[in-house]
């Protein structure tokens, strides 16, 4: 199952409307260095065990540094029934560009 992506401009719109949950799947040291305000840190390795922290009634946007881990996380979530999940295209590198 492939994972749809979302571009930075769309993510900013969701943040403005506060209608999406942002899941950051990087490691804690990466998150502490910089992150999107309001995002929830759930490292990729912990994701299968922390699904109860993810809201099913919102769009879910998964982010990481470059887009690889977020794509993996997105696929895992979609396989588990979180069908409104997308991955940030280009990761946080595109966010700060």
Question: Which pLDDT tens digit goes with each residue over 49-96?
Answer: 999 999 988 999 999 999 999 999 999 999 999 999 999 999 988 877
* Number of Cβ atoms within 10 Å of the Cβ of 15: 16
Q: Judge: domain 5-95, CATH 3.40.250.10.
A: yes
CA 57 – CA 12 distance, rounded (Å) = 19
64 labelled catalytic = yes
Q: Which residues pair with 82 in a beta bridge?
A: none
- Phi-psi region at 13: left, alpha or beta (left = phi > 0; alpha = psi -120 to 50): alpha
Task: Say which of 6, 62, 64, 88 is annotated catalytic.
Answer: 64
Q: Rounded mean pLDDT of 7-15?
A: 86
Q: Rounded mean pLDDT of 10-31?
A: 91
Residues 6 or more apart in contact with residue 45 via CB below 8 angstroms: none
Confidence (pTM): 0.93
Query: To 10 degrees, the CA torsion angle through 23, 26, 28, 34?
Result: -80
Question: Which pLDDT tens digit goes with each residue over 84-97?
Answer: 999 999 998 887 75
């Amino acid at each position: 199952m492939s994972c749809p992506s979302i571009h930075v401009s769309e993510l900013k719109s969701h943040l403005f409307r506060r209608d999406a949950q942002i899941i950051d799947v990087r490691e804690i040291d990466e998150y502490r260095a910089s992150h999107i305000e309001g995002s929830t840190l759930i490292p990729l390795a912990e994701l299968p065990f922390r699904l109860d922290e993810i809201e099913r009634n919102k769009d879910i946007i998964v982010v990481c540094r470059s887009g690889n881990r977020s794509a993996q996380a997105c696929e895992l979530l979609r396989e588990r029934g979180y069908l409104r999940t997308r991955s940030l295209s280009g990761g946080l590198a595109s966010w700060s560009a």
